Structure 1
Amino acid sequence: MQFKEIIGQENIKQRLLTTVKENRVSHAQLFLGPEGSGSLALAVAYAQYISCENKSDYDSCGECSSCRKYQKLVHPDLHFSYPFFAKHKDNTALTFIDQWRKAFLHNPYLNLDEWRTYLEAENKQANINIAECHQIIRKLSFKPFESEYKILIMWLPEYLDKEGNTLLKIIEEPAQKTLFLLVAESQDDILNTILSRTQLVKIPPLKDADVQEYLEQHHQTEHAAEQIAYLSNGNLTAALHRINSDDSSYHDLFTRWLRLCFTNDGLKLIDFTEQLAKLGRENQKNFLQYGMCFIRECGMLISGAGSLVHLPEKELIVAQNMAAKVLTIAMVEVIADELDKAHYHVERNANPRILFLDVSLQLIKILKFKTFPQGTQHILY
């Protein structure tokens, strides 16, 4: 993976290049960026640049023996660790390395749900187990085979449980010329003992213009690319999913949900939450993501920023009616927060029936009875 293949993030690329040019490569770095920002792709491109035999000031050459092996993820001094779904207690990341190479080479911006499909894991819980930690220690105890550095890229260290403390010594005092590149999405979910031993590389969401340019290069019209980029909020993974999904169906589902909550029709609402529970994890996430975008657009209308709203005409009319007759800014903020929390819990295998019923009850409080869930600080008006 070369830097030129990565969308946007020019400031981060320059910072990483500078660390190599000035010989300031920290042995343990945490690439912290939201889903779809390209943090994993940046880590791989950085590792390839460090190992390149004929690097320029701006990128790896892409042609030397090292680069050719990196492009297939088969370099003997490049190691990966990632969450997986162990069938046996002695399974490690190496057990699934063929699937990993296929998944990353197909989409360097993959998320955990995409990775799950390659493993045919259904709803099993992902983690990085103790056997994997011991394997990391073993394979990093050897000297580099071909390059100056041995490099371990760990994707989603959030899935390291307390077993991760096994790695503390090798992270803090690694063998000479050993690099740890951790790629994470949530700083709060990483073991503090590991977090304190890494240098932070903070990666922002992609700019809308960069996502739009990418989409236009991949056969989207300018108008469609602009709309998808805006609604994806800097997340290329979400943008790619949005291309393949039918947002109009999400719109119909979401507005029906709001109407049922507003009218407090209990029996119909229970049947509806059953329907949502059967959508499947990826569709549930896309549905909630659409809801957050739609509610955000309603907030823009209420605030008088209608010129900045990016909705198709049918959806815009519904949003205008809701903004004028039902919602307030305070409501918008709390509903968006409830949807965001639901999205978080869907990612972590929450029971969808219980989850969507609970969210529905919170929405009834907000829309029907004009009260906020306990713990919120706003006042409805």
Structure 2
Amino acid sequence: MTHIALYRAWRPQTFRDMVGQQHIRQTLQNAIREQRIAHAYLFNGPRGTGKTTAAKVFAKAVNCERGPAPEPCNECAACRGITSGTVMDVVEIDAASNRGIDEIREIRDNVRYAPSEVRYKVYIIDEVHMLTTEAFNALLKTLEEPPGHVIFILATTEPHKLPATIVSRCQRFDFRQVSLEEQIERLREITQEEGIEAEPEALDYIARLSDGGMRDAISLLEQAAAFGAEKITLEGAVDVTGGLAARQFAGIAVAVRDSDAAAVLPLVEGLMQAGKSPDKCLENLIYYFRDLLVLKLAPDSAQGMGRLADPGVFRDMAEGFSAERIFRMIDELNRYQNEMRHAAHPQTLFEVALLKICTLPESGAPAAGAQPEAERRGAAAPGASGHEVAALQQRIDQLERKLEQLQRSGGAAVAAAPAAAAPLRGAPARGGGGFGPRSGGSVRTVKLDPFVSASGSPDTAQLRAKWAEVLARVKDARVTVHAWLVDGEPVSWAGDTALIAFKNTIHRETTEKQANRELIERVLQESFGKPLQLATVMQKDWQQAASGPAAEGGGEPFELSHDDPGAPPARPEWVEEAYKMFGEDLVELKKE
């Protein structure tokens, strides 16, 4: 039996057959029983929950020769004709392919005529949100003044796309996802009636995979039955749907638990060789870690969870993870799942996602980039306890935040002015911080001609296209760093270095602080999938270099370096401080 035959054989023919929509069934039956039939209904809900089927059952109930009756008899000529689609007065329209104003005008012209075969003319418009604005306007006129012998039933999965004037003229019914228990029971009935042998775990897996849609569940059941030659096993259902078997889940989970990044890539390659899709693997992995989380936080709910087998198989695995780490892993996997929808290479993104969660630290452990600093601070107080070290760390973080606030308001610049020699504006800083003298008095020289040559490269275009994403990730990691970096503009990507041009000196210098630089470079690596260094330049210097001889392929390379530390600044120190505090756009020099 084909899927079409199986679905039709088990398609509800009465309100009693509808699965999971008891509230709708009761309301519609009471309306028919009390002769309070509305002229327009709106059925909305997820796909495969029975919206169109309920519309046809309702059309049979109001037109049944023994009715109108709360349940159609399915024996009279009217019921049989509506079921087979031969009654001309019950019209089903697919708005996805008939969405124009001409089709709606035809309906508007025909509703004035009385039904010829049954009691009511019923128009079922499926996916009604696909209609054009003009078609909605034409339909609105008909809904405002409908003839008494016409019933409109609008079905949609996206009711928010309907005009409010249409929704307000309909009785709205929200179809819900079918519960897991009801789906499993209906699948069991189907297999028994059709003589199909099925393992209970396989039915449970199919029901969970359908996401509350009974139609999808029947489709997957038929697919699994065809694969297993009339015998549905858990392994067969997993294979035919592209999911992961329990042992494959366990292998990935063990590699993640042990932070064994080297074991991840062979596992992914094996899955791809077996024909698994990266997006489905990632989706199932999220559910797997969700099961581990539920097992740790709500053990009593273990009977109602899990996509594969007895929850007891997860208990040993759950002991290897902290709840906080599982939370963070699910967050990371969900973020990569959203990105995978638009990825050109889903397998690569799947590998990166697994490598990412492999490197996540346990609860309370510092991130990889912060470990040397934490060890360095801990070494300063060898006799301190863990609690004292944590309190000291918290105090240091508070002081750093206060310093950043003072720098932003300009107070730090005023305090540092008497003691700090003004650095040359435009010189890229390395490890220097704030307004004080740079450590060692040396700054790496930046040759701008390679960046000028690469300003029109595909890498530069990619950097600019994803810069908003980089800023968002930096903001999620530390909002203070984002406040400084947002002043910068990506101008070039040459080799393994991204060049950012700043308008304001203080924003640039704060971005160049070592901790801030490390955070930004880590985000760049996550965004582009490879190590990427950060280089900064003042915007006026970049514009000068971009318009100079090097930009045209000739002349000497344009370099940014600072003068001899002992040489006097080109301008008075207080002028340099004014530029750093307020930015070049707000400072104007006038000679008295």
| TM-score using structure 2 length | 0.45
Which of 33, 37, 57 is residue 45 of structure 1 equivalent to?
Answer: 57
The CA deviation at 1:28 is 1.4
> Are 2:166 and 1:194 aligned?
yes
> Are 2:69 and 1:24 aligned?
no
Partner residue of 2:83?
A: 71
Query: Which of 1 and 2 has greater Rg?
Result: 2
On the 8 A contact 1:7/1:210 being kept in 2, the answer is yes
The CA deviation at 1:304 is 3.3
Partners in 1 of 2:187 and 2:305 — Cα distance?
A: 20
Change (3 A) 1:221 1:364: closer
Which of 142, 152, 158 is residue 129 of structure 2 equivalent to?
Answer: 158
On the 8 A contact 1:301/1:323 being kept in 2, the answer is no
Q: Report the 3-state secondary structure (helix = DSSP H, G, I; strand = E; otherwise coil) of the residue aligned with 1:332.
A: helix
What does the per-residue CA deviation read over 1:118-153, in whole Å, with 9 as the maximum and x for residues that have no partner? xxxxxxxxxx33343333323334322222221111
Amino acid at match of 1:184: T
Question: Where in structure 2 are the equivalents of 1:118-129 lying within 5 Å?
Answer: 128-129=99-100
Q: Report the 3-state secondary structure (helix = DSSP H, G, I; strand = E; otherwise coil) of the residue aligned with 1:328.
A: helix
> Are 2:189 and 1:217 aligned?
yes
Change (3 A) 1:32 1:323: farther
Range 286-295 or range 49-58, more displaced: 286-295
Change (3 A) 1:361 1:83: farther
What does the per-residue CA deviation read over 1:214-236, in whole Å, with 9 as the maximum and x for residues that have no partner? 11122234443344334544321
> Are 2:297 and 1:312 aligned?
no
Question: How many equivalent pairs are there?
Answer: 321
Percent of pairs identical after alignment?
20
Amino acid at match of 1:138: D
Q: Report the 3-state secondary structure (helix = DSSP H, G, I; strand = E; otherwise coil) of the residue aligned with 1:151.
A: strand
Partners in 2 of 1:299 and 1:141 — Cα distance?
A: 60
The CA deviation at 1:23 is 1.9
The CA deviation at 1:213 is 1.6
Partner residue of 1:328?
A: 326
The CA deviation at 1:313 is 4.8
Which of 73, 76, 97 is residue 61 of structure 1 equivalent to?
Answer: 73
Partner residue of 1:134?
A: 105
Partner residue of 1:146?
A: 117
Range 299-308 or range 62-71, more displaced: 299-308
Question: Where in structure 2 are the equivalents of 1:1-381 lying within 5 Å?
Answer: 1-55=13-67, 58-85=70-97, 92=98, 128-166=99-137, 167-219=139-191, 220-243=198-221, 244=223, 246-248=237-239, 249-251=242-244, 290=284, 293-305=287-299, 306-313=302-309, 321=317, 324-325=320-321, 327-329=325-327, 331-332=329-330, 335=333, 339=337, 353=344, 374=472
Partners in 1 of 2:134 and 2:351 — Cα distance?
A: 37
The CA deviation at 1:55 is 3.1
On the 8 A contact 1:165/1:193 being kept in 2, the answer is no
Gaps of 5+ in 2: 1-12, 192-197, 225-236, 362-366, 368-468, 478-592
Amino acid at match of 2:244: H
Amino acid at match of 1:213: E
Change (3 A) 1:304 1:210: closer
The CA deviation at 1:318 is 7.3
The CA deviation at 1:298 is 3.4
Q: Report the 3-state secondary structure (helix = DSSP H, G, I; strand = E; otherwise coil) of the residue aligned with 2:66.
A: coil
Partner residue of 1:105?
A: none
Range 320-329 or range 226-235, more displaced: 320-329
The CA deviation at 1:186 is 2.5
Gaps of 5+ in 1: 86-91, 93-127, 346-350
On the 8 A contact 2:129/2:162 being kept in 1, the answer is yes
The CA deviation at 1:69 is 0.6
Q: Report the 3-state secondary structure (helix = DSSP H, G, I; strand = E; otherwise coil) of the residue aligned with 2:73.
A: coil
> C-alpha root-mean-square deviation of aligned residues, in Å?
4.4
The CA deviation at 1:51 is 0.9
On the 8 A contact 1:66/1:75 being kept in 2, the answer is yes
Q: Report the 3-state secondary structure (helix = DSSP H, G, I; strand = E; otherwise coil) of the residue aligned with 2:244.
A: helix
Amino acid at match of 1:30: L
Partners in 2 of 1:61 and 1:2 — Cα distance?
A: 8
Partners in 1 of 2:53 and 2:82 — Cα distance?
A: 12
The CA deviation at 1:241 is 3.9
The CA deviation at 1:17 is 0.8
The CA deviation at 1:367 is 6.8
The CA deviation at 1:364 is 7.2
Change (3 A) 1:30 1:224: same
Change (3 A) 1:297 1:79: same
What does the per-residue CA deviation read over 1:338-371, in whole Å, with 9 as the maximum and x for residues that have no partner? 75x689x7xxxxx663788788878877775689
Partners in 2 of 1:378 and 1:59 — Cα distance?
A: 56
What does the per-residue CA deviation read over 1:15-35, in whole Å, with 9 as the maximum and x for residues that have no partner? 111111112222111112222
